[in-house]
Amino acid sequence: MTTVKCAAVLCDLDGTLIDSGHAVDAAWTRFAEEIGRDPDEILAMCHGVRTIEVMERLDLGTPAEQTALEVESWLIDAGSVPIPGAVEFLKSLPEDAWAVVTSSMAPTAASRFEFTELTKPRHIVSATDVARGKPDPAGFLLGAQLLGVEASDCVVFEDAAPGIDAGNAAGAQTVGLLTTNPYEVMAHSDFVVPDMASVHVVEAIQVGQSAWELTLELDTVR
């Protein structure tokens, strides 16, 4: 058991709080077939990266944001379910001590909370809230700012390498989940856990208006 202290928690969404892997793969496979590209090629570049940036890389000759919104519309209410432990973990956090930082666009991110038991956060930093997505730290820096804390006082939970890179670059403590990728891919996290069922809030002390000292316990795999 590893003890971690922080002022706030910043969570990725897909693969961290929500098991949307099948829906995401199906949407990108459908898109690849529609544009006549190899689905494996598209899938290799999309996980943990903003949809709009995938479109910019593909340079399809259509507005990237418009095409990204179309693909993400296929993911809304797509049968996603919470990652084990995610519902309980979010319920145990003070509502002003956590935020979601996602590569999804705002409508897709919002739908994740409408169609599951997950507690809706006060703050969601989505793909269109920052100029550059993960591995750039902008999303996590904005998430910390919205919570009124320094990124270095936050713990970031992520399931993909670009997200861990972003968390590390922001100066946060990083926790990699093995829900999507093997240990080798997540080994540059500060800590690695199987899923959110391995994370527990053991103490939350309010030290000021919307200011907290959180103590987390992690059942780490190293």
CA distance from start to end of the chain:
10
Give yes or no: 153 in active site: no
The conformational region for residue 221 under phi > 0 = left, psi -120 to 50 = alpha, else beta, is alpha
CA angle 41, 47, 52 (to 5 degrees): 85
Written as six digits, the tokens of 14 are 């897909």
Instruction: Strands of 71-187 (E only): list them.
Output: 81-82, 98-101, 124-125, 154-158, 173-177
| Choice among 12, 153, 159, 195 that is catalytic | 12
Instruction: Strands of 59-163 (E only): list them.
Output: 81-82, 98-101, 124-125, 154-158
Residue 189: closest CA among 36, 14, 16: 16
- How, if at all, do strands 81-82 and 173-177 pair? unpaired
Give yes or no: 38 in active site: no
**C-alpha dist (Å) from residue 215 to 97, 193, 199, 201, 208:** 12, 16, 11, 6, 16
**CA–CA dist 5, 54 (Å, integer):** 35
- The set of catalytic residues is 12, 14
